[in-house]
Amino acid sequence: MTDPNQNPDDYNPTVETDYEVGQDNVRPLGLELHNPVFFITAVGIALAVAVAMVFPDATYEVLHGVRTYLESTFDWVYMGAGNLFVLFCLILLVTPMGRIRLGGASATPEFTRLAWFGMLFAAGMGIGLMFFGVLEPFFHYFNPPFGVEGGEEGARELAMAATIFHWGFHPWAIYAVVAVSLAFFSFNYGLPLTIRSAFFPILGDRVWGWPGHFIDIMAVFATMFGLATSLGYGAEQAAAGMSHVWGFPEGNATVVMLILVITAIALVSILLGIHGGVRRLSALNMILFALLGAFILVAGSTVSILANSVTSIGHYLTNLIPLSNPIGREDEGFMHGWTVFYWAWWTSWAPFVGMFIARVSYGRTVREFITCVLIVPVVATVIWMNIMGGYAIEQYVVDGFEGVYQYVVESYDDTMVLFGMLEGLPLTFLTSSVAIFLVMIFFVTSSDSGSLVIDTISAGGKTDAPVVQRSFWAIFEGLVAIALLLSGGLAALQAGAITLGFPFAFVLLAMAGCTLYAMAREAPNYRPGTA
């Protein structure tokens, strides 16, 4: 691909291909619509929304049936793929491939490290951390893995280990596969910023034909339904908080109205562009996120939270291999209901998060990229889960406060768990209102970022397609979330994520292989110490 004797300072590899970004696009009214990716995905998603709205019960039954089959038959695929993605990241981290700079040796980052981290974190799993931050550790305390008795000695340690496992190295490794692959092939080889580009090493120019079309179509579907799952969680939680804290009426009408309003706000963010919209909202998110966490840390049991944050890392690392093992498990209910769901959700969401991270990671070295994407968010997640979930367990065990217990164990209302925990702290109305706003802003940044990604794929890799196209996909994201919620609530969202995540896991495995092959050929062009 490049001359191994060339000067590393002049490193700027290109791929010899006649393909130009957007050459297959059709341009009605000045739009950039990739043929046939845009039309197949737009029609297919529209039909899926229509069927889900007209036949909600049948849609739920089909999705639930497919989920049950995939979980029971192919759990080893989800689990094995997740482990391989972590291995992929470790290889890039410790080998000379880590010195490769995304964009070439002279490339400089477009964003500051703080702004960059804020955007990748907000897009990566902000809504999920708000929804599951209290719920998951508390649930696992009463239902820990490996058959351990709930509420007994060792249950708390396992609860935190299992939670961090689901939000730690594995999900961010899945994101990193897509992100580093797309950034490398786009910035270093001049290929379009779209999923198919990562397969050029094995497909060659065929990647611009139907094999590539098929890959991008799968990516759009996976992104749309994975993103809809996240938006659905956020909408349900925010609507529950609005009803509980602000007195809004309960029910689907409030959820639907909330999705429509927040989608409208996302459209404004789209009009402002990535620097004026997502970047500023991500910065606001990080400030509110940090303030909420800091308040709970100070108002709660500070010493205990900090101590448990340190020890939980050890428990996580100790249980990392047992939790990653799909063979001979006695706790299949835990593995299927939690781990398999999460791995499928992260996989279906990976094109969205990965492409967005790639888009804002120009100028970073691969090693810097992997370190920040894989390690820094894990540390932040450990602290957040201990502040939220760890303290919720302490509220119940030490203080005898049942604000969370009533929603997790008694009424099974997952959407109210966060607000139940905040009721045991001062300034409940203020902190609950901040939490609601946080979820809403995370919704906006996810919708804005997701529409950017889907639009880029459906425009053949063009990153400057007309704003109206991004707006079109943002509206579709809201409609898909509404359709799935009305056809079965959160259970339908989870089933959809698992269904779409299964085939795309094989795409990501092939993508990782192509990236290792290409980077291994380019790594020798870098002198030690140049990056």
Each residue's pLDDT tens digit, 12-68: 455 555 556 555 655 555 556 667 888 898 898 888 888 888 888 888 888 889 888
pLDDT band at 530 (very low <50, low <70, confident <90, very high): very low
Burial classification of residue 327, based on how many CB atoms lie within 10 Å of its CB (0-12 exposed, 13-18 middle, 19 or more buried): exposed
Rounded Cα gap, residues 291 and 288, in angstroms: 5
Distances from the Cα of 53 to the Cαs of 56, 308, 487, in angstroms? 6, 45, 7
Task: Please identify which residue in the block is written with the tokens 């509110």.
Answer: 288
- The tokens of 383 are what? 């602290």
The CA distance from 290 to 376, in Å, is 15
Domain boundaries, the chain: 56-524
For the cut 80, the answer to whether the pLDDT of residue 107 exceeds it is yes
Res 498: pLDDT? 82
Any idea of the CA torsion for 101, 379, 360, 472, to the nearest 10 degrees? 150
Predicted TM-score (pTM) of the model is 0.87
Residue 266: what residue type? A
Stated length of the chain: 531
Distance of alpha carbon 423 from alpha carbon 404, whole angstroms? 9
Q: How far apart are CA 373 and CA 179, in angstroms?
A: 9
> Of 2.50.20, 1.10.3930, 1.20.1740, 1.20.120, which CATH number belongs to 56-524?
1.20.1740
Residue 304: Cβ within 10 Å count: 14
- What would the two tokens of residue 376 be? 């820094």
Q: Please, is 15 exposed, middle or buried when counting C-beta atoms within 10 Å of its C-beta (0-12, 13-18, 19+)?
A: middle
pLDDT attached to residue 375: 80
Element (H, E) at 33: strand 33-34
pLDDT in tens, 370-426: 988 888 778 888 889 999 999 999 999 988 999 999 999 888 888 999 999 999 999
* Cis before 36 (ω within 30): yes
